[in-house]
Amino acid sequence: MIGARTAEREHELDLGLLRWLTTTDHKDIGLLYIGTSIVFFFLGGVESLLMRWQLARPRNDFLDPGTYNALFTMHGTTMIFLVAMPLLLGAANYFVPLMIGARDMAFPRLNALSYWLLLFGALLLNWSFLAGSPPDVGWFAYSPLTEQPFSLGTAPDYWALGLLVTGAGSIATGLNLVVTVVKLRAPGMTPLRIPVFVWMSFITGLLLLWALPSLTASQVMLELDRHLGSHFFDPRAGADQLLWQHLFWFFGHPEVYILALPAFGMMSEIVPVFSRKPLFGYPFVVASGVAIAFLSLSVWAHHMFAVQMGPIADAAFGAASALIAVPTGIKVLSWLATMWGGRLWLTPAMMYCCAFIVTFTMGGITGVHFAMVPVDLQLTDSYYVVGHFHYVIVGGTIMASLAAVYYWFPKITGRLLDERVGHWQFWLTFVGFNATFFPMHILGLAGMPRRVYTYPDLPGWGFWNAVETVGAFGLLAAMLLLAWNIWRSARYGVAAGNNPWGGKTLEWTTTSPPPPHNFAAPPVLGPVRNGVSRLGAISTTTFGVLVFISSEVFFFGSLIAAYVDYRTRSPSGPGPGDLDVGRTALFSLALFASSATIYLAERRLERDDLRGFRLWWLATMSLGVIFIVGQGTEYARLYADGISIDRNLFTSAFFTLTGFHGLHVIIGLVALATLLTTRFTHNAARAVSAYWHFVDGVWVVVFSVVYLWNLV
């Protein structure tokens, strides 16, 4: 109790701007995310309205092509990375700890860092407007358009670097969510008692960890191409033009589910409450979420049927993409079945849930059309696909988020949103949405390609585009009305009480808004089990490092994939034959041996033999230094022979892969040294050791692929 009271006093003292700059409270950070998302929602919305104004009639000259191309690039990038993701991550930040009865996220300071990375990445990206070179390469930035000489300015750099920064924040948030859900649940909250929104946030966390690194890796390669002269995507050097597409969509498709799964979670919380009936088929809903996550990592190339990958790849990726429709469909049916036999309370939140069922189903069905390879070949890159993904993201993610706004606003502010305004706002949104995005399907079937700044005056094209423009302004009106409702209700709204809707999840058991420590007494759902599970034995810190390592695997996986693709692809210049396998094997032995020494150090620590621990720990560091020096001399020798990163495809991939590994060894050495110079816990030592083993393990793979392969 004393701790709680102090926390409350701190809270009062820190009021003001300073609180928002220094906060590590998950609720504050959640609100910062949501607030940032709203600001960028209006910015992205203005970008789309400018485009719609330009497209309202054929051969319009309101915007020049350069401006239009920047607007559609920034609209897509903003809406996905700076609106939808922060909105969902903000909601997860705010509600996951509350829903599992925790006091905060597992790593509150990392959580704050994630948010500030997002904000500064977003500012960097948008600084490009002021600097006069906004990205104009499309949100998936296909190579080689992003390469010199096709993009001479800094536009692609803003895109790549801005998203690198926000991406780092998102990976950290993913890590935090996963560790929080695994480690901080209230006693007795067994896996099948976890609220669906928490389940979906957990799965989203895993997807962020596993999907984002391939985007990071490809953006790193792009920047190396643009500034260090490597050739990853350079057609003149014979680069594989599908490499970018594979790496990008390996991120890009799971990204769709990163945006969809939390929305499914919101639906699964809200629909039962307003149906006054438990969720229908909870195990199926959760299992289908897990299935979607894993399937989503294997469907990326359905974005690439038109590149002609061959019948086997077409069939495999087509089948996986068709399959993913099944668990998604199950969820929609489960929500309908939840409503069936219930007593429906049609609040604005519930209206948005109903709209979701219609619009998201529509988007899901047209999604299946793109899994049907021959149909995809006709419709991909047309306005049909623009219509499709707006039905998924606006009709899915945004509809569910709007439901969540009406549902959770009273918890956050203690006041209800005005319901009458809410109904008006709902109908404006629903009609505006369909008027904006439905005609896109017609235009796609009529042959209108996406991403054109203007179009010829063909029959029907001007008419449907004008309808879309009118619809888009309807959506603007709806969103302004929402902003007004939020602003007004936050001040003058009806007091909500702790649980205005009769919600059953834990966030409704505390006050509205919740106190800084969330709960007066930590919730307990059932008996604490006596036996500690294997997972329970691992400390939160070590578990965090292990989760981070799982993400790094995907980063190195991308670099290794690029190396394998480019190992012998260049017709001339240096190749794997120029590497000295024997010499590298020697200093590799030092790194391999260091895994043994760090293991011995850990054993000494467990026996409280601090002297022995220090000795083996220092031995580990020495071996690490030997490796780095060895690698340095190898680079020097290659450089002396005129072999540098800018020579050809092999050198690009070789130096990037081994260089990033070397960087990880150096970071490991810093961690090892830092530990020795500070008062440390056993858990910290174990966490550093886990990371060091990983760095070692990566080298086993890299050494095999880069060096040993040459002996075969």
User: Could you say which residues in the range 405-444 bind another protein, by CB under 8 A?
Assistant: 442-443
Structure token digits, residue 526? 């059932």
Question: Of these, 7, 145, 564, 708, which contacts another protein (CB under 8 A)?
Answer: 145
d(CA 489, CA 494) in angstroms, rounded, equals 8
Question: Of these, 6, 150, 495, 637, which contacts another protein (CB under 8 A)?
Answer: 150
User: Which sign, positive or negative, has the C-alpha torsion 629, 632, 636, 641?
Assistant: positive
Residues 6+ apart with CB under 8 A from 392: 256, 260, 360, 363, 364, 367
Q: Would you say 147 or 602 has its CB closer to another protein? A: 147
Question: Of these, 21, 152, 187, 278, which contacts another protein (CB under 8 A)?
Answer: 278
Task: Say if CB 198 and CB 96 are below 8 A apart.
Answer: yes
- Write the CA distances from 627 to 407, 622, 656, 676, 699, integer angstroms: 56, 9, 17, 20, 11
d(CA 277, CA 349) in angstroms, rounded, equals 16
Q: Would you say 449 or 497 has its CB closer to another protein? A: 449
User: Which sign, positive or negative, has the C-alpha torsion 369, 374, 375, 379?
Assistant: positive
User: Which string of x and - marks every residue 69-88 that binds another protein (by CB under 8 A)?
Assistant: x-------------------
Backbone φ, ψ for residue 587 (5° rounding): -75, -15
Span interacting with another protein, options 43-51, 102-110, 141-149, 530-538, rule CB under 8 A = 141-149
User: Which string of x and - marks every residue 118-137 that binds another protein (by CB under 8 A)?
Assistant: ------------------x-
Q: Residue type for 213, please?
A: P
Q: Would you say 456 or 497 has its CB closer to another protein? A: 456
Q: Shortest approach of another protein to residue 447 CB, angstroms?
A: 4
Site for another protein in 283-302 (CB under 8 A): 283-284
- Classify residue 600 as exposed, middle or buried by CB count within 10 Å of its CB (0-12, 13-18, 19+): middle
Site for another protein in 328-367 (CB under 8 A): 329-330, 332-334, 336-337, 339-346, 354, 357-358, 361-362, 365-366
d(CA 451, CA 286) in angstroms, rounded, equals 37
Question: Of these, 380, 436, 485, 584, which contacts another protein (CB under 8 A)?
Answer: 380
- DSSP characters for 58-117? TT--SS-HHHHHHHHHHHHHIIIIIIIHHHHHHHHHHHHHHHTT-SS-S-HHHHHHHHHH
Question: Of these, 391, 455, 508, 613, which contacts another protein (CB under 8 A)?
Answer: 455
Question: Of these, 49, 110, 124, 375, which contacts another protein (CB under 8 A)?
Answer: 375
User: Which string of x and - marks every residue 181-220 that binds another protein (by CB under 8 A)?
Assistant: ----------------------------------------
Q: Would you say 115 or 280 has its CB closer to another protein? A: 280
d(CA 339, CA 341) in angstroms, rounded, equals 6
Q: Shortest approach of another protein to residue 498 CB, angstroms?
A: 21
Cβ neighbours around 492 below 10 Å, total: 9
Site for another protein in 231-260 (CB under 8 A): 235, 238-242
Question: Of these, 256, 379, 475, 560, which contacts another protein (CB under 8 A)?
Answer: 379
Site for another protein in 48-67 (CB under 8 A): 64-66
Cβ neighbours around 333 below 10 Å, total: 15
Q: Would you say 415 or 441 has its CB closer to another protein? A: 441
Q: Shortest approach of another protein to residue 252 CB, angstroms?
A: 15
Residues 6+ apart with CB under 8 A from 21: none
Helical segments of 446-539, H only: 461-492, 534-537
Q: Shortest approach of another protein to residue 655 CB, angstroms?
A: 22
Q: Would you say 190 or 511 has its CB closer to another protein? A: 190
Q: Would you say 319 or 708 has its CB closer to another protein? A: 319
Q: Would you say 187 or 235 has its CB closer to another protein? A: 235
- Write the CA distances from 672 to 119, 610, 616, 668, integer angstroms: 31, 15, 11, 6
Task: Say if CB 157 and CB 137 are below 8 A apart.
Answer: no
Structure token digits, residue 385? 């696909």
Q: Shortest approach of another protein to residue 429 CB, angstroms?
A: 17
Q: Would you say 141 or 175 has its CB closer to another protein? A: 141
459 binds another protein (CB under 8 A): yes
CA torsion, ordered 84, 86, 88, 92, to nearest 10 deg = 180
Q: Shortest approach of another protein to residue 439 CB, angstroms?
A: 9
d(CA 31, CA 549) in angstroms, rounded, equals 29
d(CA 119, CA 20) in angstroms, rounded, equals 13
- Tokens 């998203």 found at: 163
Cβ neighbours around 382 below 10 Å, total: 20
Q: Would you say 64 or 580 has its CB closer to another protein? A: 64
Question: Of these, 7, 168, 319, 486, which contacts another protein (CB under 8 A)?
Answer: 319
Span interacting with another protein, options 42-50, 452-460, 525-533, 547-555, rule CB under 8 A = 452-460
Indicate the DSSP class of residue 415: B
The number of residues that bind another protein (CB under 8 A) is 93
Q: Shortest approach of another protein to residue 241 CB, angstroms?
A: 5
- Residues in a beta bridge with 449: 382
Span interacting with another protein, options 6-14, 38-46, 377-385, 669-677, rule CB under 8 A = 377-385
Q: Shortest approach of another protein to residue 318 CB, angstroms?
A: 6
152 binds another protein (CB under 8 A): no
Question: Of these, 14, 381, 419, 646, which contacts another protein (CB under 8 A)?
Answer: 381
Q: Shortest approach of another protein to residue 165 CB, angstroms?
A: 25
382 binds another protein (CB under 8 A): yes
